[in-house]
Chain A
């Protein structure tokens, strides 16, 4: 079910700050947010930077990719390769842990993160 809670859009960085088909971490209202420029798909994603497996601030440094028939976009933690859906935050290795995702949009050359 889609809920339409109003989000506040905060400008966070420029599009050129995030490497193509890679990620970087931004400080947003004291939170560490991983921002991914999925250039190959022309999509942007944002998740928490913390990998819940070993509590490491590392997801922004992970490799991104896709899996399955539906080409689910995903990120792999650089520490032990737990992978998470960039859309839903669900852990794709069958673990119970999942990560938070954030609304993200690009206007001009500015990247915005939506906070509830």
Chain B
């Protein structure tokens, strides 16, 4: 019997587009045998998010799919084995290792390489390109010692590379661009100017209209020489001057290639040989090389369709893009440059905040044609949809970039007004209709579920806000009432549950789930209920340890590698020389890295879980307790030295800080709480950046509340002026208890106040004027919490059953986690990076 011929598709190139082609073809059919040749030793990875490799992502995080995926799907993968020759007559490819592989169809996904201009000295050490993981590793190594680095090329990739240098801590980073402005292909002159101002403010030095004539240095780069005679001294140079399609194999095989590179393809992505296709950055379609991933994916879809008797064709691609460059939003869409007489532009420029917006509308004012957004690109998705779907403009198109300035909201029906065929996720080609149908027909109601269902939002992630809005909007349209609920297991808000558990005297998580929830709980509702139970009864946290986040379960802070850190309580930042020696002894004995924290404490890092009880025991015996650097609880009350020593101090801020810290320590709240007490208006304790802050005045104390440091800093607001200590404590009891009872999970006091109807005036009325008549209740509830305080660490130290849980291996308590690895840095131990 003659074995049946299995048609073979050979893919040359295992990059993002080559991988995506395999995925798309396998989704349509399994009749083909797929054979992939890759030049790099790695399986396909995500080049778009390459700069995240510097931000702590590992090479594995960037993989499109693990090696196992290829095995599971029967794809034969030859890595590190480039194809050297295509023999079109015998329909075979020949690889470097000597493999001869026949094909029925051949797909070229050879991508592109970095374009390196022919500048004298380009071969010198310290001159690099920005393309592969190996390139990044080289850049990382150079940056470690470089004092000054430059990027050649002020386009999209060049600015990405500049960001990488900034992130790597190169003290001086320069960008050199030949054109008179940054990103000349995407944005207009005024937008470039705004972008440049913003980037310069962030520490980038930008040199425009510079033609690099040579790279100087003895073997290693020392300086760039420019055509205008000027010189820039640098120790490293990253070249990012564009891409060059990898078409050499095609050229060798006699396929038609473009004058300036690129394999010529038709709308079906066929090359001049109809059995051979080219996709991605190596393909030249209609005179264009598409250097973005989304059109590459679209080309992959076209070939997969062609091979399965489909009719999809490629007819060009919208090159609109939005990205965050070094923290600055940059977007361009449709035709960003079109001008009079073909269009009229509306421009908004705000030099103060660094925002530039331009939209180009048709002369009759009916259609949006394109535009540029710098500094604020929130409107990008809607504007792009308005262009692509030819949606009629509102009577005042300026509202699109300025927002409605009258009484009416301009949002209208928002994303829900888009037509069903509007492309929402362009990376994965998912339409609005498909997303809404997933909600209505398949009951997909969360972003995670949507990603699994149709991959929407899994590419560049830019459409995620729209996908979320579509899910919620469709649910609302269906009549589903979108309620503020804890999670899928509890149909109540935190505040509702707080009251329900109190009224019904519920004291365990299981009882709460049985009475008011469903299912088996999750990592959202367990700690939230844990926080409510603590806020009601202040029972020992260790009695409920399996519903706590890991830090509350192990009473210490988990760190990279799985070790823990211990931060002894140093109330108000006051510590004796004897106590300092105790901390030193303990850290030395258990081999811990020590550092002064931002909250006037000393943190000891790198403790094995099995050493924690022993460490606490030694601290407790010396009169310490371990402290809350974890948990949604009071962290520290920072203080300045105050009137005891300081010649400006008005009152004793240290004593007050210690009193406050000891009063509220251990109490669990919706989120962490930080505090400070300053002895005079100079405010050395930075009390106005805290959840509650106290500042001495001539006549008493001023009480500030709801401040926040962190990612969204917000100054605390003045709640009461010139009050005495007892009144401060009284108001604080009421304020904190009111917050504990009414905030959502993980909501800091600042956000809580921002969302409170009536704002500070309302809060003052509740806390000071007792407008709700609950102040006596709040004070009594707080008194109960304070009275029930126990040292949770002492509980573990003294309880053999609890102590037993502090091991890495339950069946080998003496063995420490062998995967935990440390290295040395500046004479102390340091955990290995992940």
* Residues of A bordering B, CB below 8 Å: 12-13, 17-22, 24-27, 32, 35, 38, 40-41, 53-58, 61-68, 71, 73-74, 76, 78-79, 81, 83, 92-94, 96-97
Contact = CB atoms under 8 A, between A and B. Distances in A.
B522 A76 contact: yes
A63 B488 contact: no
Interface string B44-77: 0000000000000010110101100100000000
19 contacts: A19-B546, A22-B546, A24-B807, A26-B812, A40-B510, A54-B58, A56-B560, A57-B820, A58-B550, A62-B523, A62-B550, A63-B546, A65-B521, A65-B522, A65-B525, A76-B523, A93-B448, A94-B448, A97-B66
Contacts of B488: 67-68
Interface in B529-577: 545-547, 549-550, 553-554, 558, 560-562
B811 A96 contact: no
Contacts of B812: 26-27
B805 A24 contact: yes
A57 B520 contact: no
A114 to B, nearest CB: 16
Given A25-B810, A67-B519, 4 more contacts: A27-B812, A38-B520, A61-B550, A67-B488
A78 to B, nearest CB: 3
A108 to B, nearest CB: 16
Given A13-B811, A66-B522, A94 B558 contact: no
Nearest to B510: A40
Nearest to B61: A53
A96 B810 contact: no
A66 B521 contact: yes
B69 to A, nearest CB: 7
B72 to A, nearest CB: 11
8 A-B pairs with the lowest CB-CB distances in the bound complex, closest first = A22-B546, A78-B550, A65-B522, A76-B523, A66-B520, A94-B451, A24-B810, A63-B523
Given A26-B811, A57-B817, A97-B66, A41 B550 contact: no
Interface residues of B, number: 45
A69 B809 CA distance: 34
A68 B546 CA distance: 21
Contacts of A24: 805, 807, 810
Given A12-B811, A27-B815, A40 B520 contact: yes
B819 A79 contact: no
A61 B810 contact: no
Contact of A79 (B545, B547, B558): B558
A22 B545 CA distance: 9
Contact of B562 (A26, A58, A96): A58
Contact of B523 (A25, A41, A83, A94): A83
Contacts of A38: 520
A27 B809 contact: yes
Contacts of B521: 40, 65-66
A56 B448 contact: no
A110 to B, nearest CB: 11
A78 B549 contact: yes
A35 B834 contact: no
B454 to A, nearest CB: 11
A66 B519 CA distance: 6
Contact of A63 (B61, B522, B815): B522
Contacts of B458: 94
Contacts of A66: 489, 519-522
B808 interface: yes
Contacts of A83: 522-523
A26 B812 CA distance: 7
Nearest to A75: B523
B810 to A, nearest CB: 4
Contacts of A21: 510, 546-547
B786 to A, nearest CB: 29
Interface string B792-834: 0000000000000101111110010101100000000000001
B682 interface: no
A54 B817 CA distance: 16
Contacts of A20: 546
B810 A26 contact: yes
A20 B527 CA distance: 16
Interface core residue of B553, B561, B811, B817 (most chain A CB under 10 Å):
B811
A19 B526 CA distance: 15
B558 A78 contact: yes
A17 B811 CA distance: 8
A65 B526 contact: yes
B452 interface: yes
Given A61-B553, A78-B558, A41 B520 contact: yes
A32 B562 CA distance: 14
Interface in B756-810: 805, 807-810
Nearest to B834: A54
Contact of B526 (A63, A74, A79): A63
Nearest to B546: A22
Nearest to A11: B811
Contact of A18 (B558, B810, B834): B810
A59 B452 CA distance: 23
A96 B805 CA distance: 33
B525 to A, nearest CB: 8
A56 B811 contact: no
Nearest to B513: A40
B809 A25 contact: yes
Contacts of B554: 61
B546 A67 contact: no
Given A25-B810, A66-B522, A93-B448, A57 B546 contact: no
Nearest to A18: B810
A67 B805 CA distance: 27
Contact of A92 (B448, B489, B807, B834): B448
B808 A25 contact: yes
A92 B488 CA distance: 15
A63 B549 contact: yes
A36 to B, nearest CB: 10
A67 B489 CA distance: 8
B522 A67 contact: yes
A58 B550 CA distance: 10
Contacts of B545: 19, 22
Contact of B69 (A22, A56, A94, A96): A96
A18 B810 CA distance: 8
Contact of B66 (A27, A78, A96): A96
A18 B545 CA distance: 12
A34 to B, nearest CB: 10
